[in-house]
Amino acid sequence: MKCLLLLAVSFLVAGSAARAETNPLLEEWKTPFGAPPFDRIEAAHYAPAIREGMRRQREAIAAVAADPAAPTFENTIEALEQSGELLARVGNVFRAMTSANTSDEIQAIARELAPEQSAHADAILFDGKLFARVKALHDARENLSLTPEQRRLLDRWYRDFVRGGALLDEAGKGRLSEINGELSVLGLRFAENVLKETNAFELVIDSKSDLAGLPPAVVEAAAEAAARRGREGAWLFTLHKPSIVPFLQYSPRRELREKLFRGYVSRGDNGGELDNNAILSRIAALRVERAKLLGYETHAHFALEESMAKEPKRVYAFLDELWTPALARARNEARSLQAIIDAEGGGFKLEPWDWWYYAEKLRKARYELDDEMIRPYFRLENVVAGAFDVATRLWGITFVERTDLPVYNAEVRVFEVKEADGSHIGILYTDYFPRDNKRGGAWCGELRGASKIGGREVAPIITNCGNFARPAGGAPSLLNFDEVTTLFHEFGHALHGLLTECTYPSLSGTAVATDFVELPSQIMENWALDPEVLGLYARHYETGGRIPPLLVEKIKNSGFFNQGFATVEYLAASYLDMDWHTLGEPKELDAKTFEAASLERIRLMPEIVTRYRSPYFSHVFGGGGGYAAGYYSYIWAEVLDADAFQAFKETSLFDRATAESFRRNILAMGGAEDPMELYKRFRGREPSIEPLLERRGLK
């Protein structure tokens, strides 16, 4: 749970010992709003600070377990919630740096001490005296005078102990601890290998003729990337999305598209020390063994117990309902692309590295629209301002940039978030450009979670990170469709963390079921490209003119375009995740053979590659594997967000009463109540799948 398995499971670091009195992580943070003093923190500070946090938590836990007084909610559950405060404070910062500002030193330190971190968490969950107090309260819960949030918290703590091995005998606890320790190391290795393989790949172009068809801004960015790596006069393309996506979209050089595409889909699958196949197979086998040890049929049964879906068969049924219409639509799309190839006399069959290129041609022919037409209207700063404006119109909150808070990288911007009356809500850090020491993708993180235990209100500090196109050739950062919606998506997660009103850190903000956590993020995507909203923030970066209504109409008309492809590649990854985690025996399998069989079972068409192949599927195998048996959550939550956004469409996009209901029942509540009950309180009923099918053109 958030207070223990997010706090205590925070990555530990080793390094040269720093004296406590000179370690900024152990001092009071005398910065505005108590933000992390990034200007003073060095890698060597983390190890002693986190170890001190562990020591303090052990002392606090021992005191709770040995308390001679009968267990009460206050002296047991609330005491547990507060036991890892220092560990959380330091661990959150370090975890953020391992993703956004890492180094060989930090990675080596995290790897070395991951088993120690795992053992610390296990020791708490294996404490018999402590569990006895929690169990006594849980057994008597019907007779306790508790708020709904407190009842939920008590139940969460009890289930975490049971799911963490509290009911096992000593031999079982010993084996579970071994499994957890090994998994913690393997997850780190998997993620590091993906990052290293991503950074190692280079497509260097020396001939200007090989740049034909590429937009000038893409060419400029490639030249600047080459110069940064000492290759003056050449052009460098990498596997980071701002580089690879436009190349696949616009380059007519088919052999180069293939080289770049194969580089992307073969990460972690190239043999040698960075190969992830044996690692992921071992992870899957250990997860099966752990599930069996705890009394579950498979890891998916273990993981889904805490979700809205509850069980694997319900997830498979949901995926199957979408797969058939999505695959039919994708096959129709493939035929349209093949027709273009044939009409041009290509003389070849459509392959995965061709899809993006011919899809972009088709979009331009069918809708007179392509990414390069809209990029000038999506300057990064304007998109950020647009996301902020949507939140202001919905809830009256404002965002004020602060330049007086330390940052971990010069590219980071910091904003204070305020209520309409000017009162403080929290802090938001944004970090949007790719770096070699930053993992790929986009995510929302937490430097400090919100809580109100004992009447002491702690305001949240949230991060939004992405890997968007850098400014190049004198132009600012200009985003494409995908990047715009990604920015709004992560901003939705940030709002979930910022607007929480929960008392307890284990339940606040995004501490909810995996298949519910994407609702606040995905609903924000609906505003990003809505014609009414586009007219508010999409302005040409040179002229300042608003996006023309005709272009907005083209964007609207192209809403169903390529949705078969997008849905199929996503669903294929969801099936692959579920197949890995419904294994019933703890055997290490050949990863390539298993993946091929999984995709053959669903008859994935050869023109499309699953969005994530197993060797770089970091959502489920990297780090803590938070989306293991949970990658389906994005489209599960899309059912929720499509239905929820319908509530706004039934009134108006910025209807204040609907917005306040969404804030009160969804954003503010975190995990304080059952997610379906919260949703029904907002919508008045359970969600319908019809709005999702209509949105994706699958009806």
Question: What integer pLDDT is reported at residue 529 of this predicted model?
Answer: 87
Question: What integer pLDDT is reported at residue 262 of this predicted model?
Answer: 98
Task: List, for residues 614-635, the tens digit of each pLDDT value.
Answer: 999 999 999 888 899 999 999 9
Q: Which of 627, 608, 517 is nearest to 563 (CA)?
A: 608
> Is a pLDDT exceeding 70 seen at residue 5?
no
Q: Which of 16, 15, 12 is nearest to 86 (CA)?
A: 12
Domains of the chain: 2-125+127-164 (1.10.1370.40), 201-266 (no CATH), 376-557+633-695 (1.10.1370.40)
Lowest mean pLDDT among 101-110, 235-244, 456-465: 101-110
Question: What integer pLDDT is reported at residue 697 of this predicted model?
Answer: 86
Confidence of residue 168 (pLDDT cuts 50, 70, 90): very high
Q: Which residues have CB under 8 Å from 529's CB, separation 6+?
A: 481, 484, 485, 555
Range 450-470 average pLDDT: 95
Question: What integer pLDDT is reported at residue 204 of this predicted model?
Answer: 98
Distances (CA, A) of 579 to 311, 362, 599: 13, 34, 10
Q: Which residues have CB under 8 Å from 228's CB, separation 6+?
A: none
Question: What integer pLDDT is reported at residue 6 of this predicted model?
Answer: 39
Rounded Cα gap, residues 228 and 222, in angstroms? 10
Q: Is 604 helix (H, G, I), strand (E, B) or coil?
A: coil
Q: Is 348 helix (H, G, I), strand (E, B) or coil?
A: coil
Task: List, for residues 658-699, the tens digit of each pLDDT value.
Answer: 999 999 999 999 999 999 999 999 999 999 999 998 888 887
Token pair for 361: 């041609």
Question: What integer pLDDT is reported at residue 4 of this predicted model?
Answer: 40
Region class of 441: left (phi > 0), else alpha (psi between -120 and 50), else beta: left
Task: List, for residues 190-221, the tens digit of each pLDDT value.
Answer: 999 999 999 999 999 999 999 999 999 999 99
- Does the active-site annotation cover 74? no
> Is a pLDDT exceeding 70 seen at residue 553?
yes
Range 516-534 average pLDDT: 95
DSSP string, 476-517: --B--HHHHHHHHHHHHHHHHHHS---SSTTTSTT-S-HHHH
Catalytic hit among 78, 149, 490, 638: 490
